[in-house]
Amino acid sequence: PGTCPQRARNLRTALRLMSAQGFAGTSMRTIATACDLNVATLYHYFPSKADILRALVKERAYPDRFTETPPVDTALPPRERLVDLMTRLWQSALAERELLRLVLSEGLRGDELSRGVAGGLTIAADASIARWLAELFPELPSGRTRIARLLRALLETALVDHLAAARPGVRERLREEVADLAGLIFPERG
């Protein structure tokens, strides 16, 4: 089955359904019907719903997504550079809102697979943000790992606000909070 168009269509459909109805609330039969397949054919592509979730994470390039350094303008002052980095991470996360909604909601329901995926994403995000801080902020004092965890936590909070609470102005609040943190990390001299 590899990366054929039908497999990709099956994954897109499964993600849409699972994001809306939940992992437990979406049956293989429901996915097969929405894909205009019989259930046996869907099982040919994916032996289980858990395999669908694993494939979604892998196909969406998580945690590989964290390997490339975001194209932040290093000529910007450090405070603005940090806001730029987090804005890019926010946009990247929003591009995967259905997958993140699914993983978040199922993790909160106690699904072990989703919790494992979420934990893996957290570990990958922390390590990548710390690495990006080292690459993009040579003037940064020590503590990159702690700062990376704080930045990831701000991003997660913004995602919960956006995905679960649907609060308006989340992006702007995230930018303000990152700017506040940047002011503490990079105090003005003089």
Q: Do 5-59 and 64-185 come out as alike in CATH topology? A: no
* Residues contacting 37, CB < 8 A, separation 6+: 6, 10
Residue-wise pLDDT tens digits, 101-113: 888 888 888 888 8
| Separation between Cα atoms, residue 169 and residue 158, nearest integer Å | 10
State yes or no: pLDDT of 1 exceeds 60: no
What does pTM read for this prediction?
0.82
Percentage of the chain exceeding pLDDT 70 = 94
Handedness of CA 110, 12, 55, 129 (dihedral sign): negative
- pLDDT band for 3, please (50, 70, 90 cuts): low
* Residues contacting 177, CB < 8 A, separation 6+: 154
Residue-wise pLDDT tens digits, 23-64: 889 999 999 999 999 999 999 999 999 899 888 877 775 656
- pLDDT band for 94, please (50, 70, 90 cuts): confident
DSSP 66: G
Total Cβ atoms within 10 A of residue 88: 14
CATH architecture of 64-185: Orthogonal Bundle (1.10)
What is the CATH number assigned to the segment(s) 5-59? 1.10.10.60
Locate 150 and state its tokens. Answer: 């704080």
* Residues contacting 47, CB < 8 A, separation 6+: none
* HSE, side-chain direction, 13 A CA sphere, residue 110: 0
- Domain residue spans of the chain: 5-59, 64-185
H/E element, 12: helix 5-21
Locate 170 and state its tokens. Answer: 């989340």
Locate 119 and state its tokens. Answer: 């934990």
**What does the buried/exposed string (b/e) look like for 8-17 if buried means 16 or more CB atoms within 10 Å of the residue's CB?**
eebbebbbeb
| Separation between Cα atoms, residue 64 and residue 156, nearest integer Å | 19
Q: Kindly write down the DSSP assignment for every residue of 54-72, as one continuous string.
A: HHHHHHTTTTGGGSSPP--
